[in-house]
Amino acid sequence: MALADYDVIVAGSGPAGSTAAALLAQQQHKVLMIERSSHPRFHIGESMLPLSTPVFDRLGITWDSNQYLRKNGAAFIDENSGEQVRFCLNAQYQPYQVERARFDQMLVDNARHHGARLQQQESVTTVELDADGVQVGTDRGRYRSRYLIDATGRSTFMGRKQSTIERIGNLGRFALYTHYRHTNSATARELYESGDIKILMVDIGWIWIIPLIDRRLSIGLVVQKAIDRSRRGAALFEHYCKASPFLTAVLAGAEQETEVRAEADFSFTNTRRHGQRYACCGDAAGFLDPIFSSGVFLAVTSAERVADRLHPALAAGTEGDPALHAADDDHYTLGFRSMQLFVERYYQSDMVHHLFFAADRSDTIKNDIAALLSGDLWRDDNDFQRMLLAGRQNRTP
């Protein structure tokens, strides 16, 4: 291949793409991000996990309290039984609730500040990989690079190109969600003061309530049970919101900002997340039901590992090694698998009622659960995490 235009082309500029681009640009590599839409853009997934903080520190991100609300904990509530439990999530690091349009813009601006180039409203259409390099075709041109990072989110360009996507079918099926503003009720004010995310248990799944700045709320219904397509719209969302006394109190006098949106095809894994001259990170490597807010966390941590493995290879000229990222497979699998089994147990074993609501009886189990909710997935002293992993191994033929 002729001399490359770039060291790395990053397809996508969400949290994963911007993180990888920034870390590589910090090391003086020539990086191009190709984004099919444009910033700022609406996106769901507004609740950060505490263990994202070390990555954001490396990126040089600073948090403006006028733009982002502190996240202090997560409360799980069953309004029918009156049971509830709260897990503290700011003991080690201070996480935040973010409006994704502003947050994603901040990350992509940071990548550009470090030297990465961004081209927006341009779609990757073809990718050709060989021992000599990468050729990327878009709807606007062709580019040559030494390496490709697939950060195309749930579009997962390389996964679909290579037919390596496997659905995870026993978790949430789809979500309905919207934002509200002018939430000035007394119950809403208490929610903003606490900074907690609320999870309401309902008979078909669960409802998230995430407080944002400027008296705004993100509210979503995730449906786990099979629902006839004719019922999968705004009426279903509104029914469950009105059936909740807590939500009724929170939304008194509030104004719905947008129509109810829907997302389906939730959870999957990419069985080939790296190969010769390419690696996938973030949702392009795998996506999980959002019950424990793992999306952005897995995006930035997987992007960090990809960038850290790629930088010395680019410097040494060994980036063409097909097994470049194999050394990180166990690390990635442990994190993704732990969160997957955590979510799976939530749905299949009624974990909230059988374990969460009893967690106040044991500091050890409550701390173990809080560690997973914080994204602390790579420690070796979490008995609850070991139980999750061992339980699945025992059920595997």
Give the tens place of pLDDT for each residue, 78-117.
999 999 999 999 999 999 999 999 999 999 999 999 999 9
Residue 230 DSSP one-character state: G
Backbone angles phi, psi at 265, to 5 degrees: 50, 55
The per-residue pLDDT for 266 is 80
Residue 94's SS3 state is: coil
Question: Would you place residue 230 in the very low, low, confident or very high pLDDT band (cuts 50, 70, 90)?
Answer: low
Q: How far apart are CA 376 and CA 298, in angstroms?
A: 11
CA angle (290 as vertex; 346, 336 as ends), nearest 5: 75
CA distances for 201 relative to 76, 172, 294, 321, angstroms: 7, 13, 19, 47
Residues 217/47, Cβ–Cβ less than 8 Å: no
User: What is the average pLDDT across 22-38?
Assistant: 98
Structure tokens at 49: 């996990």
Of the candidates 153, 164, 154, 155, which has an alpha carbon nearest to the alpha carbon of residue 271? 164
For each of the domains in the chain, give its residue range(s) and CATH number, in order of start: 6-46+98-167+267-324 (3.50.50.60), 174-264 (3.30.9.100)
Rounded Cα–Cα distance for residues 394 and 376 (Å)? 24
C-alpha to C-alpha distance for 288 and 302, rounded to whole angstroms = 14
Per residue in 140-161, pLDDT (tens digit) is 999 999 999 999 999 999 999 9
